[in-house]
Amino acid sequence: MSAMSPLTPGFMVVHGNRLDELRSLVVSWMRLYPLRPLENEIILVQSNGIAQWLKLALAADESADEEGGVGISAAVDVQLPGSFMWQLYRSVLGHDQIPSSSLLDKAPLTWRLMRLLPQLIDRPHFEPLQRFLLDDNDLRKRYQLSERLADLFDQYQVYRADWLQDWAVGKHQLRNGRGLSKPLPAGNCWQAELWRALLEDVGSEGMAQSRAGVHQRFMEAAAALDEAPSTLPSRVIVFGISSLPAQGLEALAALGRFSQVLLCVHNPCRHHWADIVADKDLLRHQYKRQARKQGMPAVLDA
């Protein structure tokens, strides 16, 4: 791949235990393989501070030893992962199919909860919310609670879509990473009931706009694509993000079929540590030094 030639698509993951070295790698890569004129560089970060730090490195004077920047920081579109993922969904599924914002996003969800909570707190399972909303003449408590719950459900849509799927069909349970389920604590059953009430309120159109539902449609559509839509970026760089949900990684991997995706992982360990196994996982391993003792539970808690 030579400079100014079309970028080779792919999904690259680079680990490093020093963030400054990862920054140097990103700057060198952008300098050696620039985008075409009038194309914006898409960089996903988790904070404005990281974005400014990276821009300063880009704007540094270029040096002969390839340790400097490119002399200018321009045409750099810095975004948060969540907003970029929604734009990516719209690019593949179509702007006419996916609105610019979901009915279940945090902002509209806050006001929807403000309206729904008075109708729900007298139902079974909502006793904790009922106690919290006592003596709320100025509605300050209701607004604060609605805002916190909207943020909570927004995070659930990204990180725990499996929980929301179970709650939507009336299952009061929590699934772990291994697919095992345990009952939802009695004091938290109101969360499942509240999510089901929200889905009933937004209707089928709103349910189709949930992040979990849109993500699944995106993955199916991306797998069926033969060529990239014109709205997809040529390159996406993920830098300085400490964690990404599984949905984000899946979407970036799917994007890697058509775009160049560079994921820089700040790994605190300089050695390979994928072989580290937790004690409970050792107990689950099929090669045990001794047989299971009588009375030992068949399934260990996560």
CATH number at residue 177: 1.10.10.160
Residue length, the chain? 302
- 281 pLDDT band, cuts 50/70/90, is low
Residues 67 and 17 in one domain: yes
Higher pLDDT, 249 or 69: 249
CA dihedral in degrees (200, 203, 208, 213; nearest 10)? 0
Same domain? 17 vs 32: yes
| pLDDT for res 286 | 53
The predicted structure's pLDDT at residue 280: 64
Residue 111 lies inside a defined structural domain of this protein? yes
**250 assigned to some structural domain:** yes
Based on the fold, state whether residues 122 and 205 are members of the same structural domain. yes
Instruction: Identify the domain boundary among 209, 240, 257.
Output: 209
Whether 83 and 156 share a structural domain: no
| Residue 203 counted as domain residue | yes
Whether 89 and 224 map to the same domain: the answer is yes
Both 219 and 85 in one domain: the answer is yes
Q: Mean pLDDT across the chain, nearest whole number?
A: 85
235-238 and 41-44 strand pairing: parallel
The mean per-residue pLDDT over the stretch 6-34 comes to 90
Same domain, residue pair 120 and 197: yes
Single residue among 194, 209, 224 that ends a domain in this structure: 209
Other beta carbons within 10 angstroms of residue 146's beta carbon come to 20
Render pLDDT for 150-183 as a digit per residue (tens, 0 to 9): 999 988 988 888 899 899 889 999 988 777 889 9
CB-based contacts of 39, cutoff 8 Å, min separation 6: 75, 233, 234
Look up the pTM and report it: 0.76
Model confidence pLDDT, tens digit, residues 32-85? 898 988 899 999 998 888 989 999 888 888 764 556 677 888 889 999 888 899
Q: Is the pLDDT of residue 2 over 80?
A: no
E strands within the chain?
A: 10-16, 41-44, 76-79, 173-175, 181-183, 235-238, 260-266
What distance in Å separates the CA atoms of residue 152 and residue 146, rounded to the nearest whole number? 10
Q: Look at residue 183 and tell me if it is in a domain.
A: yes
CA dihedral 275, 276, 281, 284 (to 10 degrees): 40
What φ, ψ does residue 42 adopt, rounded to 5°?
-95, 120
- Boundaries of domain holding 230: 10-97+214-266
Q: Are residues 133 and 147 in the same domain?
A: yes
Statement to judge: residues 61 and 115 lie in one domain:
no
**Residue whose pair of structure tokens reads 């929980």 in the numeric block:** 163
- Same domain, yes or no: 186 and 199: yes
Residue 5 inside a domain? The answer is no
Same domain? For 199 and 240 the reply is no
- Tell me the C-alpha distance between 252 and 260, whole Å: 10
More confident residue, 210 or 132: 132
User: Mean pLDDT lowest for which of 87-91, 97-101, 123-127?
Assistant: 97-101
Residues 89 and 225 in one domain: yes
Amino acid at 222: A
- From 209, 227, 247, the end of a domain falls on 209
| Cα 194 from Cα 145, distance rounded (Å) | 13
Is 76 or 297 the better-scoring residue by pLDDT?
Answer: 76
Within a domain: residue 24?
yes
Does residue 254 belong to any structural domain of this protein? yes
- Whose structure tokens read 């904790």? 128
Mean pLDDT for 108-129 is: 93
**What is the number of domains present in the chain?**
2
